[in-house]
Amino acid sequence: MKEIHISSKQRNQMIDITDDVQHLLKEEKINEGYVIVYVPHTTAGIMINEGADPSVQQDIIKTLQQLIPEKNNYDHEEGNSDAHIKASLLGSSVTLLVNKGKLVLGTWQHIFFYEGDGPRNRMVYIHIGKTR
């Protein structure tokens, strides 16, 4: 298993980790297989979405903030209930296919780490599996 270390700078932030995952895949020299990207944090998530236009990432953050506001009379006393809810909706892992040593992604797709309670230092785990 491999690790990617992430330092978020904002409370809500999307960080593109596609190149980091591809770099780890290249080191393993896997021609065909799969990659699991897993976030072990309850206030962070992982997703695949458009990476070509940064306004899409801002729209996702803005919409999550509108749907799940930071302050909303939550019972959880740490003040980050919204981040827990957002992370639950986004999910903690994605699985990608590998073909000819590269991640199989659509033309505009990138892998994003979502920070919901930053700034923080975070970790993402990467498992690379070989099928042949």
**Residues in contact with 73: Cβ distance below 8 Å, sequence separation at least 6, in sequence order:** none
- What pLDDT does 98 receive? 97
Q: Which two tokens stand for residue 54?
A: 């940064």
Q: Quick one: pLDDT at residue 131? A: 83
> CA 1, CA 126: separation in Å to the nearest integer?
6
Average pLDDT, stretch 59-85?
Answer: 95
- Residue 51: which pLDDT band, with cuts at 50, 70 and 90? very high
Residue 61, number of CB atoms within 10 A of its CB: 19
| Residue 18's pLDDT band (cuts 50, 70, 90) | very high
Q: Please say if the pLDDT value at position 4 is more than 70.
A: yes
Cis peptide bond upstream of 54, omega within 30: no
The helix/strand/coil state of 108 is: coil
> Is residue 1 over pLDDT 70?
yes
Question: What mean pLDDT comes out for the span 18-39?
Answer: 95
Is pLDDT of 132 > 70? no
